[in-house]
């Protein structure tokens, strides 16, 4: 047995030596010893620490093996948000980005740092006085999950920064990935143990990092690439993004060498083409290039717009494609009744997975591409996007192949398939009685802004529908204590609470009732307008399209949608059944004229707001006399944008509509 003093010195020397080898292997990609020699050093350290538990340290490389499972991940609020980037898909968009940057900085040419866009999972590492104290996922950009125990298992993540005088505190941003060869070996192990194989490296990395048992994570070949800094205290930032990456490398973090400083749009596009050319030769997956204004002072000057920085953009690579054959064309009925034609394909490997189905989007797309059963087609898959048929291969069509036509009847319920003017998607008109839509219809009916049935959530609705206990909303009001108590996770107390909530929901308002029916294109605001105009449900059900268009803000499309809904006899029967079940309201109720700073103004909400739910924002706007719409048009006055706003923000910018964040909305409404 070695003496404690000698053991302490040897343990410390082994720890430094092993971490040095980790750094040379993962950060520098220049190992200096064999795997067998590394394993020998590691085993020696394990044995010494086991013999001298008083010398244990959380910074020891042996702690990377993982620990017992956690009950759950805790939430972490990022002190500096981890915002996403806007995307560019063509050269013109890159040139437009460069032009905006030059105009914003009032210069003729801008220097950029060009980096690969890794196809992995974004994370944040927090170091206090050089020691790793926390690791978190990106989450929604503002709040992530604490995965410190899992990130400690990555040998590419330094437990201590390589710096004599490290920052007081630093948040390092990076991407966790799996190399392609490591992914293949991982799936080989999965096959040998008869476990489910992973779809692609990105999904494997994301799933591995979110294991509650960090010992599972430790067995996965995860790696890190650092690319930025959130907050920094106790040390000055360097002058440029390029120098910042050099600093991270000096700290011992792996930084991608496939990067370059370039000037102007021409320099950006040159880097893009070069990286695209060697994409398949890279050891890891990348799905594009990230351009960042190089000078950090210029980044700060340009600032941010809604959810993304003005100083950076992601230039995406073309989607991956493959050729295969269409063996059938079928339709899927979505939870909202959307009828989507789907091509059933001969299996083909594309975008990292074997694809057997591909969306044809809608009837117009099928006709435009002229896809027929038996055709040889090109299929595209990019990232997690649903595979799609992009074109038919000319000259390979079988003689006499008939053109495809969408069915006139819903395959799930036999109701008419309708397509409203100016809409690309056809829909089942079955609504409340279509089995494919039943769960979604019931969840919408019970939602807080509709009938507000507390306790009727997704899992309970799944049980009620799957067991065929409930086939429509009226049957909810015939549920008894015995039927509910027999359901999974539904004790007598929970059952009684749900029955009380159902009874309470019977006394509602006409506006809520109309909204709860789930009529296409009828949101809360339209439901209120209809309730105020007609006063009772019978008058609404009997109204023709001309009468419906007398209601403010209701045009031909919404009028036709309402008319066709009530033209289906089964929908009228649902209304009658609900009234017989005791659902009612005051027929003469009218809302008071709106007053406030938003009177006459139309708002559209998009994305996730930091401190308000969408319902709370809607209530705030309506309390000040404003109206909330679900779509952006020239009649929209304001778009309120949060995190991940989607296409509504782009359309608003295109139309020149005023964009507000949550703070600006509160200020506007006082």
Q: Which of the residues are catalytic?
A: 117
Q: How many CB atoms lie within 10 A of CB 407?
A: 12
Give bridge partners of residue 111 from the DSSP assignment: 263
Query: CB under 8 Å, gap of 24 or more: what pairs does 579-584 form?
Result: 579/537, 580/474, 581/474, 581/477, 581/478, 581/506, 582/477, 582/506, 583/451, 583/477, 583/505, 583/506, 583/508, 583/513, 584/506, 584/507, 584/508
Alpha-carbon span 85 to 103, nearest angstrom:
20
Supply the DSSP string of 416-483, one letter for each residue: BEE--TT-S-EEETTGGG-HHHHHHHHHHHHSTTTT--TT--HHHHHHHHHTTS-SSHHHHTT--HHH
Distance spanning both ends of the chain, measured CA to CA = 74
Nearest-angstrom CA–CA distance, 455 and 552: 35
Calpha distance 433→574 (Å, rounded): 8
Q: Report the distance separating Cα 119 and Cα 93, nearest Å.
A: 21
Q: Where are the alpha helices (DSSP H) in 123-227?
A: 148-151, 180-192, 201-209, 214-218
Contact 171, 229 (CB under 8 A): yes
Alpha-carbon span 561 to 576, nearest angstrom: 20
CA torsion sign for 636, 638, 640, 646 is: positive
């Amino acid at each position: 047995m070695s003496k404690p003093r000698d053991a302490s010195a040897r343990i410390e020397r082994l720890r430094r030596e092993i971490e040095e080898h980790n750094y040379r292997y993962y950060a520098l990609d220049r190992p200096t010893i064999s795997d067998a020699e590394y394993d020998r050093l590691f085993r020696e350290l394990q044995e010494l620490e086991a013999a001298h538990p008083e010398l244990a340290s959380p910074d020891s490389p042996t702690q990377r093996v993982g620990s017992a499972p956690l009950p759950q991940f805790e939430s972490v609020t990022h002190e500096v948000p981890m915002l996403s980037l806007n995307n560019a898909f063509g050269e013109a968009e890159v040139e437009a980005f460069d032009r905006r940057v030059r105009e914003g900085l009032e210069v003729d040419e801008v220097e950029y740092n060009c980096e690969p866009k890794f196809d992995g999972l974004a994370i944040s590492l927090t170091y206090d006085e050089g020691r790793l104290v926390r690791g978190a996922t990106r989450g929604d950009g503002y709040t992530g999950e604490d995965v410190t125990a899992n990130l400690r298992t990555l040998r590419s993540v330094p437990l201590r920064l390589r710096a004599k005088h490290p920052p007081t505190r630093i948040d390092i941003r990076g991407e966790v990935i799996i190399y392609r060869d490591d992914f293949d070996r991982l799936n080989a192990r999965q096959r040998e143990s008869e476990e489910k194989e992973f779809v692609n490296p990105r999904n494997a990395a994301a799933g591995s990092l979110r294991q509650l048992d960090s010992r599972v994570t430790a067995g996965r070949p995860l790696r890190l690439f650092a690319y930025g800094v959130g907050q920094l205290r106790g040390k000055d930032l360097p002058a440029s993004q390029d120098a910042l990456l050099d600093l991270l490398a000096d700290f011992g973090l792996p930084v991608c060498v496939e990067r370059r400083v370039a000037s102007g749009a021409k320099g950006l596009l040159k880097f893009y083409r070069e990286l695209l050319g060697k994409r398949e030769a890279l050891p890891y997956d990348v799905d594009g290039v990230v351009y960042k204004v190089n000078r950090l002072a210029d980044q700060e000057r340009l600032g941010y717009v809604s959810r993304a920085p003005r100083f950076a953009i992601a230039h995406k690579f073309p989607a991956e494609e493959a050729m295969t054959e269409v063996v059938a064309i079928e339709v899927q009925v979505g939870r909202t009744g959307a009828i989507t034609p789907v091509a059933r394909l001969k299996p083909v490997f594309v975008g990292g997975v074997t694809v057997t189905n591909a969306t044809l989007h809608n009837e117009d797309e099928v006709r435009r591409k002229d896809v027929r059963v038996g055709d040889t087609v090109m299929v595209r898959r990019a990232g997690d996007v649903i595979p799609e048929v992009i074109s038919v291969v000319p000259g390979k069509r079988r003689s006499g192949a008939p053109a495809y036509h969408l069915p006139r009847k819903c395959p799930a319920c036999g109701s008419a398939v309708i397509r409203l003017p100016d809409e690309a998607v056809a829909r089942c008109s079955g609504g409340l009685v279509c089995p494919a839509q039943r769960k979604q219809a019931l969840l919408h009916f019970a939602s807080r802004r509709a009938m507000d049935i507390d306790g009727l959530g997704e899992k309970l609705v799944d049980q009620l529908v799957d067991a065929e206990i409930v086939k429509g909303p009226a049957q909810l009001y015939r549920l008894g204590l015995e039927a509910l108590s027999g359901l999974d996770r539904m004790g007598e107390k929970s059952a009684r609470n749900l029955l009380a909530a159902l009874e309470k929901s019977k006394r509602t308002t006409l506006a809520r009732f109309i909204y709860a029916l789930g009529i296409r294109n009828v949101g809360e605001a339209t439901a209120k307008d209809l309730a105020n105009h007609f006063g009772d449900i019978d008058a609404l059900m009997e109204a023709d399209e001309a009468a419906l268009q007398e209601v403010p803000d209701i045009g031909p499309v919404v009028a036709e949608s309402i008319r066709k809904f009530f033209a289906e006899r089964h929908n009228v029967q649902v209304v009658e059944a609900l009234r017989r079940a005791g659902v009612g309201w005051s027929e003469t109720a009218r809302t008071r004229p709106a007053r406030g700073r938003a009177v006459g103004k139309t708002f559209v909400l998009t994305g996730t707001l930091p401190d308000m739910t969408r319902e709370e924002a809607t209530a705030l706007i309506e309390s000040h006399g404003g109206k909330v719409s679900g779509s952006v048009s020239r009649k929209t006055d304001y778009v309120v944008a949060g995190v991940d706003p989607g296409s509504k923000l782009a359309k608003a910018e295109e139309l020149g509509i005023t964009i507000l964040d949550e703070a600006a909305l509160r200020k506007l409404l006082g």
